[in-house]
Amino acid sequence: MSAATKTPALAAASLAPPKLELRGICKSFPGVRALNDVSFSIWPGETHMLLGENGAGKSTLMKILCGAVSADSGEILYENRPTTIASPADARRLGIAVIFQEFSLVPHLDIAHNIFLGRAPRGRLPGAIDRARLYADTRRVLDMIGFDIDPRESVHRLGVAQQQMVEIAKALSQKARILVMDEPTASLSDRESERLFAMMARLKADGVAIVYISHRMAEVFALGDRITVLRDGKRVRSLMPHEATPDELVRLMVGRTVDMTYPRRFRAPGATMLEVRGLSAASGVAGVDLTVREGEIVGLCGLVGSGRTEVARAIFGADKVTSGEVRVFGRVHPGAPDGSTRLGMALIPESRKSEGLALIRTVGDNILLASLPSLFPSGLLRVGAGRDVALQIVKRLGIVATSLQQQVGMLSGGNQQKVVIGKWLAAKARLFIFDEPTRGIDIGAKAQIFAVIDELVAAGAGVLMISSEQAEIVHVCDRAYVMRGKRIVGELGRAELSEENIVRLGMHQ
């Protein structure tokens, strides 16, 4: 990873006030002290890394910055003058733009109308939009981040990574002077990430202040000018990158030592669980051949847009297969998600909130969702039996929730991911497809998720894992398939599985 250009912002900090300063910020929600006496400042032209586990208070701090919620107490200063951020309009007036991990896009509008929503250039007639200028302005903003796509493309047709790029473009179109970014590379490949970092360097050179939330230590040290660590709603420490090591930052974040290498004990694989031959789908993937055997983790990698998620969806039956064959435990797949469930296959999707969970339902309801037909074949729900199953899953995965009745949308990202996994464990799945299993979750939760995956394969399950983090593929997988142009272009065995080989196959022309 090439670092964004460092600036002398901190050297000048003693000569000028911060661009933005928060002093003694407190915020409580029913039963939760989200922020407790947090102070935070940022200068023009610097990247301030904000670290902490899910639930540490980062999201609440971001919502205060963008005017989505108001602090209970404390003071906000903008260019050394007290100010109030009581609404998103106040934040925009101050030049503050926030890119949330959960997108705020209108699915059935095109890219241009999403980027300039509510700000589209006016046409000659009252109420009309100057479409020529709208698409020209959108093209200019997209070119800033190297996003080569038709501005007329509907957002609902885009993958998660492409939607992330649209969110970034929308923030840049507002001419923000303070840009807050929450895990912006979580769904980006290394190539897209490098483009983002180059764009950040240009913004910093122009004096834009950047608050950057990340769980990737390489980004923290490559991009950060300063680091602030939150834990349990409190600021633990602010420091310079040269004053810490990755291990020390993890200890500050979680209050304990966490193994970030995700160690595995590789075992000899067993019988073939999944066999895909000549698979083509309406989504554009073509001629895909792959296998997954008992007791192994098989990676599926490549650049964003290479077709990884499309392959997973076609195998699971979520997208229409136009030719080829999928066999699960030797049986031909019937071609629908409910058939996958009956065969013992599970899909943990890339977007857990929109595709993996019923956010307004409880933890218990979500855990039982996929197993209701098998647990209660008569159609009569036995509440006690269902509760026992859900409690066993909560205990097995270490899901942190107040009770089975807690709304799943209130859990941290890592615990939500565990609920999605638990849903399939309750359904007694044996073949798992993980699409970006650690997207948007903190370092401690990542280690726990990989421990769960390793436990599954140790018990004889098979796993197909998609990840944009090549280091995860290299450290965790027995072997990996590399995709390019919606086709598999190579297979790497354990001995040849390296980040260099993944890049070579994924980018080879």
pLDDT at 8: 46
pLDDT at 3: 45
Per the rule left: phi > 0, alpha: psi between -120 and 50, beta: everything else, 477 is beta
pLDDT at 356: 85
Residue 51 in this model has a pLDDT that exceeds 70: yes
How much of the chain exceeds pLDDT 90, in percent?
42
Instruction: Decide the pairing of beta strands 297-302 and 479-484.
Output: parallel
Residue 154 in this model has a pLDDT that exceeds 90: yes
| Per-residue pLDDT reduced to its tens digit, 443-460 | 777 888 888 899 899 999
Residue 506 in this model has a pLDDT that exceeds 80: no
How much of the chain exceeds pLDDT 70, in percent?
93
Residue 11 in this model has a pLDDT that exceeds 50: no
Residue 474 in this model has a pLDDT that exceeds 60: yes
Given this chain, do its domains 13-95+176-254 and 272-507 carry the same CATH topology? yes
Domain 13-95+176-254 in CATH 3.40.50.1820: no
Higher pLDDT, 503 or 329: 329
Angle between helices 160-173 and 190-205 in degrees, nearest 10: 10
199 Cβ neighbours under 8 A, 6+ residues apart: 144, 145, 146, 168, 172
Residue 262 in this model has a pLDDT that exceeds 80: no
How does DSSP classify residue 36?
E
| Per-residue pLDDT reduced to its tens digit, 193-219 | 887 888 888 888 888 899 999 877 888
pLDDT at 377: 78
The 3-state secondary structure of 374-442, one letter per residue: HHCCCCCCCHHHHHHHHHHHHHHHCCCCCCCCCEHHHCCHHHHHHHHHHHHHHCCCCEEEEECCCCCCC
Tell me how far apart the alpha carbons of residues 207 and 91 are, in angstroms, rounded to a whole number. 18
Residue 258 in this model has a pLDDT that exceeds 70: no
Homologous superfamily assigned to 272-507:
P-loop containing nucleotide triphosphate hydrolases (3.40.50.300)
Residue 9 in this model has a pLDDT that exceeds 50: no
Residue 465 in this model has a pLDDT that exceeds 90: yes
Tell me how far apart the alpha carbons of residues 393 and 4 are, in angstroms, rounded to a whole number. 43
**How is residue 466 written in tokens?**
């998609």
Residue with tokens 């179109």: 173
pLDDT at 271: 95
Q: Locate the domains of the chain by residue range.
A: 13-95+176-254, 272-507
| Per-residue pLDDT reduced to its tens digit, 80-133 | 999 999 998 899 899 999 888 767 899 899 999 999 988 888 888 888 889 999
Across the strands, what pairs with 212? 49, 181
pLDDT at 195: 77
Residue 415 in this model has a pLDDT that exceeds 70: yes
pLDDT at 447: 81
Mean pLDDT of 23-27: 94
Residue 160 in this model has a pLDDT that exceeds 60: yes
pLDDT at 187: 67
Tell me how far apart the alpha carbons of residues 39 and 475 are, in angstroms, rounded to a whole number. 38
pLDDT at 49: 94
Residue 161 in this model has a pLDDT that exceeds 80: no
Tell me how far apart the alpha carbons of residues 310 and 304 are, in angstroms, rounded to a whole number. 11
Angle at 134 between CA 133 and CA 137, to 5 degrees: 80
Higher pLDDT, 38 or 417: 38
pLDDT at 366: 92
pLDDT at 355: 84
CA 467 to chain centre: 11
Residue pair 483/502 in contact (Cβ under 8 Å)? The answer is no
